[in-house]
Structure 1
Amino acid sequence: MRVENSFIGTDGVGEKTEQSIWEQGVTHWDEFEPSVVGGQRGDRIQQFIDEGRDRIAETDVTYFDHAFPSSERWRLYETFRERACFFDIETTGLDQDRNQVTTVSLHQGGDTQTLIAGDDLTAENLRAAFDGADLLVTFNGKRFDVPFLEANFDVDLDRPHLDLMYTCKKIGLSGGLKQVEQDIGIERDRPDISGRDAVRLWREHEQGRDGALETLVSYNREDTVNLKTLAETATERLDERIFVG
């Protein structure tokens, strides 16, 4: 589902009204006339559409992030997928005030890069990496990855954010990233490695063990790239569930 299929961003329009509009055969902004709903509500929807077209042309993801209910922000993905940045971090523990970020992998525009502590993982490089990202895509990133990076590197990641943990819960998928991947059939090169192993691999790298860093980076990059497949699968399933098109 694209933003242009949505009417729920209009003030005073909820799921029932939007569903009613779709059921009348109006499933895209181009098909809408205020008379479909009538009255001031129809005029408000038309105003939202007119403003929305301009905002899409400007790639203003923030406008729709604010307009849509939080539970419906998954609809941003298909329209703005080319501006999405999938990212995942590895750390030495769960406490952002005591533990260290070891690697950060970002996947955007078909390319994946990894920043490594003690090498190129700096605040300046993080800001540059996120500079062109209008939509962040993570798994549990709102509670973990973003706060960790903001606390450790003083970077500002306040921008539209699709946290797939919540999107997946809407389609009945729960648990951690690895469990959800298994549930939808995503295969891994190293299914035996977990987040706990990522901590161990960093310690082994610090101790000079050959191959430890390469394995950690590979694991982190796979986490990140798999987010794209997960985003596409989850949004497609939600589309099939709710959209009358």
Structure 2
Amino acid sequence: MRIENSFIPVHGVGEATERRLWENGITHWDEFDGSVVGATLSDRIETFIDEGRTHLDRGDVSVFAEALPAASRWRCYENVRNETCFLDIETTGLDAACNDVTTVSLHRGGETKTFVKGRDLTSDRLERELDEAALLATFNGQRFDVPFLETCFDIDVDVPHVDLMYPCKKLGLDGGLKAIERDLGIDRDMPDISGRDAVRLWHEYEAGDESSLETLIEYNRADTRNMEPLLEIVTDRLHENVFEAAVADD
């Protein structure tokens, strides 16, 4: 499903109205003719479509991400799949005011990069990497990863953001990232490690154990890489549940 199939970013269009448009054959912006809704709402939709095309021509999905509910931002993914950056962080604790970010992994275009505290993890490097992304994807990053980075590195993360936890809940997929991976059959190349283990590994590295840092990095990278197949599965299932189900009822 692409942004061009969506109408709920328009003020006054909820899921029921969008579904009614789809059921009446208006499944794409190109098909909108104002026949299903009133004149005022029709004008709003036409303005949204005109302005939306300009944003999409620039590869900018921020206006749509801001207007969509958190559980519906997955709709932005198909438009900027190749420019989507998957991000995960490890920290020394849960409070950004008194704990540190130890590693940050970013996965985009089939390549995973990891930055380490005290080596190459800096605010400038993070800003450069994020500036290249059209969409940010995390798991629980809206409440944890992004605020933590903004506090610890004094940066503003303003990339359009899909927090996978919310569309997963929409599909009835509850629990943490690793539990959902198991439910969906997404494999990992290493044993399961907890957030508490990640803190322990960092302290072992600080005490001189380089192998602990290697394990921590691979754990962080696995979390980041596995979000890509998770988002693929989530978008496919929600496309079927939300869009194809309505079109099939047409």
TM-score w.r.t. length of structure 2: 0.93
Q: Contact 2:70–2:162 (CA<8 Å) still a contact in 1?
A: no
Deviation by residue 1:78-136 (Cα, 9 ceiling, x = unmatched): 11222211100011111111111110000112211000111101111111121212221
2:78 aligned partner, one-letter code? E
Hey, what's the Cα distance between the residues in 2 that align with 1:207 and 1:103? 17
**What does residue 146 of structure 1 align with?**
146
**What does residue 24 of structure 1 align with?**
24
3-state DSSP of counterpart to 1:87: strand
Hey, what's the Cα distance between the residues in 1 that align with 2:122 and 2:151? 13
**What does residue 200 of structure 2 align with?**
200
Hey, what's the Cα distance between the residues in 2 that align with 1:143 and 1:70? 12
Hey, what's the Cα distance between the residues in 2 that align with 1:44 and 1:3? 16
**What does residue 136 of structure 1 align with?**
136
Aligned pairs for 1:83-232 (under 5 A) are 83-232=83-232
Q: Tell me how far 1:45 sits from its aligned partner.
A: 1.6
Hey, what's the Cα distance between the residues in 2 that align with 1:210 and 1:141? 28
Hey, what's the Cα distance between the residues in 2 that align with 1:101 and 1:58? 33
**What does residue 50 of structure 2 align with?**
50
| Contiguous gaps of at least 5 residues in structure 2 | none
Hey, what's the Cα distance between the residues in 1 that align with 2:120 and 2:68? 37
Deviation by residue 1:165-187 (Cα, 9 ceiling, x = unmatched): 11111110111111111111111
1:209 aligned partner, one-letter code? D
Q: Tell me how far 1:147 sits from its aligned partner.
A: 1.3
Hey, what's the Cα distance between the residues in 1 that align with 2:213 and 2:20? 54
**What does residue 237 of structure 1 align with?**
237
1:242 aligned partner, one-letter code? V
Q: Tell me how far 1:38 sits from its aligned partner.
A: 4.8
Tell me how many residue pairs correspond in the alignment: 245
Deviation by residue 1:226-245 (Cα, 9 ceiling, x = unmatched): 11111111121111111134
2:203 aligned partner, one-letter code? R
1:60 aligned partner, one-letter code? D
Q: Contact 2:202–2:216 (CA<8 Å) still a contact in 1?
A: yes
3-state DSSP of counterpart to 1:211: helix
Deviation by residue 1:154-208 (Cα, 9 ceiling, x = unmatched): 1111332111111111110111111111111111112332222111111111122
**What does residue 3 of structure 2 align with?**
3
TM-score w.r.t. length of structure 1: 0.94
Hey, what's the Cα distance between the residues in 1 that align with 2:79 and 2:36? 25
Change (3 A) 1:93 1:67: closer
Aligned Cα root-mean-square deviation (Å): 1.5
